[in-house]
Amino acid sequence: MKFKGLFVVMCAAGLMAGCNSTNGNNRTSDNTIASNNDTGTTGTTGSNVSSGDKDFVNDMLSDGMAEVELGRQAKERAASSEVKQFAQMMVDDHTKAGEQLKQTAATYSIQQEAKHDDKHQNLMDKLMKLRGADFDREYMAAMVDDHESTVRSLRSRVDENRSLGDRLTGKNPENAGAAKPEASGDRATAAINQWAANSLPVVERHLDRAKQIKENLDRNNRSTARADRPQTNTPQGASKY
């Protein structure tokens, strides 16, 4: 009887050990699944985002922030109604684009380090000393230069359905849908490229409008210079020498 009781106790202990072993294996399996799920997010966290993507995001955020602040200056200091309207467009469109890019950066844990570069800071300092027509000319010249640079950056991440001739001349596509994001297997890169494709037609319109306003200002300035030039009246039939 004692031997039989001891045998029962030993069997029970063996069963408990087996159950514990099975539970341990289940926990290991659960941990493995969690690890695999984490691995499946490669390309979606800040540590996995390429330096090129990070630099592009922060460069675009910095440029957009500068366009907004310059636009606010122009609304106060410009003389031309065209320039003031353009400035308001800069504030509205670049604020919207910046918020969208910030959301993308937050989704993929990209640290945002937007700040003014020396070029934009020097431009702001220069424009703060100007008003009226002088401000208009300097501001619009800067807007043409800035938007040409931004268009080049955006196009580096976009596939465009444009002819070679249009690409060489810089002619913008009539259809905004012609701009498609450059394909990428990385989710962060793909999202950034999609933002670039969405932004490109808007920035191209900004560039076209900036060029038009600059030409108008230059034309008006030439006309004013001719009108202000002193006229010399030479008597009819008399030599001017």
Is the residue at 5 inside a domain? no
What Rg, from alpha-carbon coordinates, does the chain have? 32
CA angle 41, 47, 53 (to 5 degrees): 95
pTM of the entire predicted model: 0.72
Q: Is residue 30 pLDDT above 50, yes or no? A: no
Closest among 101, 29, 37, 27 to 63, alpha carbons compared: 101
Q: Report if residue 156 sits inside a domain.
A: yes
pLDDT digits (tens, 9 = 90+) for 122-175: 999 999 999 999 999 999 999 999 999 999 999 999 998 766 666 666 666 556
Domain interval for residue 102: 47-225
Could you give the CA distance from residue 40 to residue 56 in angstroms, rounded to a whole number? 24
Give domain status of residue 214, yes or no: yes
Separation of CA 76 from chain center:
26
Report the mean per-residue pLDDT for the chain: 80
DSSP tag of 157: T
CATH of the domain at 110: 1.20.1260.10
- Number of folded domains in the chain? 1
Mean pLDDT of the region 89-107: 98
Indicate the helix (H) or strand (E) that contains 181: strand 179-181
Cβ contacts of 81 within 8 Å, gap of 6 or more: none
If one compares 172 and 86, the residue with the highest pLDDT of the two is 86
Is residue 63 situated within a structural domain?
yes
Residue 27 lies in a domain: no
| Residue 4 in domain | no
